[in-house]
Amino acid sequence: MNTEDVTGDDDPFSALLAAWYDALAAGRDPDPEATPPAGLRARLERGLGCLRRLRQWGAARQPDDTPPALPAPSEGLPWPVLGRFELRRELGRGAFGVVFLAYDPLLGREVALKVPRPEVAVAPGLAERFHREARAAASLDHPNLVPVHEAGAVGPVCYLVSTYCPGTTLAEWLKGRGEPVPFADAAALVATLAAAVQHAHERGVLHRDLKPANVLLSAGGPQAVGGGEPSPLAAAHGPLATLIPRITDFGLARLLGADPAEGAPAVATRSGAIVGTPCYMAPEQAAGKGKGVGPSADVYALGAILYELLTGRPPFRGESDLDTLLLVQSEEPVPPGRLRQRLPRDLETICLKCLRKEPYRRYPSTQGLADDLGRWIHGEPIVARPVGLVERAAQWAWRRPLAAAFLGLSVAAAAALLVVMGLASVLSGLGDGSYTATLTVVQRAVQIVLVTAITLTIPIAAAQVIEAARRRTRTSIASA
């Protein structure tokens, strides 16, 4: 910057520049009689050159290049119209988007119009997120999945247009109930959802955010679903028998057929990031293992929904999202039978199989879950088996390494003490030399047993503590 850029009076400069701009806008050259002071001439010439370039650039633009302007807010709505869509009222909002009831005058129908929340509208990759959701949903055609019709943008605002399903969400429906969901209704609902998710999996789409808030319930009953296999809800006789469930919100969907390179299948997330809702999130999701999250994560989420239908609460809920993430990774859920009396054992077994920590121990597919629930509904033997006592003990030892190490040492010490006492009793009748020598050998053997037990248990316990600390650190960083 030259010294003349910061000297002189700004008021004469602004007045002269405005006069020259008005002359350019009117198609005239600046008035040659308006001779600026010597100290302002260089600044005015540079300003005039900039104005001329701007006018030339503006004249060269095509009319179609101008982004459409957004109308002003109106009566509680952000805009009365968005593109060709007429906004009528807000239907709901989530962590990323707001859904409005809108009218499409082109096709003469009501639709659900989803736009980003204002606080995330400037987030990088937002447009790609909306486009990915549209691509994921556009490949699906199932009566229990909400279809997406189109995606677009008006100025800086992205939007998604999907079928309007009047009714409520499963989350709101559960809040309004004063009594538990009948067992058959809960099983039939989750079987219906599992069949719909299987349809998505077969087309390479992993939902990754299944939860009651993403299940819409519309009036009509299973007979209104359409052709094909009858809905499992047809066997229900409770309040859910008159409702059609539909899964919505594929904003966190992962395209399973994409390149597994960094970010390819999970465009919305970076490596190590946590996506989903903690209460319904599989342990591998809670740990931020993006590449390790597969169809079994949706099996877990469906099991969490079944658990809430049966007990009135999700499997895990901490004081904060971080607490919940840690519980999901480290604790076993309370068996539903302890929270609700007379819960059928087989239905509890199905639910807990979905909630296993290890993905390979869950159902291999959501269709397997739907089939097992169908067997239970029709009174047939189920495939799932309850966890045995030995496996429960092994799981407890793995998740409580310090307590397991202490218990192991206590048992080893007690056993060694019993051995010493028994041998001492047997050898008490022998001569002094034989008794002393034998007792020394026994004591030495007990020492070896204890040292061996400590050598084996302490490293295992230490490794588990270190892994738990690393898991907490990863979760804290990913959640920040």
The residues annotated as belonging to the active site are: 209
The answer to whether residues 290 and 252 touch, using CB atoms and an 8 Å cutoff, is no
Q: Six-digit token pair at 256?
A: 């399973």
Q: State which H helix or E strand residue 300 sits in.
A: helix 295-311
Q: Name every residue whose Cβ is closer than 8 Å to that of residue 74 and which is 6 or more positions away in sequence.
A: 80
The answer to whether residues 155 and 67 touch, using CB atoms and an 8 Å cutoff, is yes
Q: Are strands 81-82 and 215-219 parallel, antiparallel or unpaired?
A: unpaired
Distances (CA, A) of 435 to 162, 260, 415, 428: 88, 70, 21, 7
Q: Six-digit token pair at 394?
A: 């092994």
* Residue 276 DSSP one-character state: S
Q: Name every residue whose Cβ is closer than 8 Å to that of residue 334 and which is 6 or more positions away in sequence.
A: 315
The answer to whether residues 289 and 254 touch, using CB atoms and an 8 Å cutoff, is no
The residue to which tokens 């400590």 are assigned: 454
d(CA 108, CA 194): 33
Q: For the chain, how big is the Rg over CA atoms in Å?
A: 34
Q: Six-digit token pair at 255?
A: 């395209």
Return the bridge partners of 258, or none.
none
* Residue 77 DSSP one-character state: B
The residue to which tokens 């909400």 are assigned: 146
Percentages of the chain per state (helix, strand, coil), in multiples of 5: 55, 10, 35
Three-class SS state of 302: helix
The answer to whether residues 309 and 334 touch, using CB atoms and an 8 Å cutoff, is no
Three-class SS state of 293: coil
Alpha-carbon dihedral of residues 185, 191, 193, 199, nearest 10 degrees?
-160
Return the bridge partners of 157, or none.
154
- Measured over all CA atoms, what is the biggest interatomic distance in the chain, rounded to whole angstroms? 134
d(CA 5, CA 28): 27
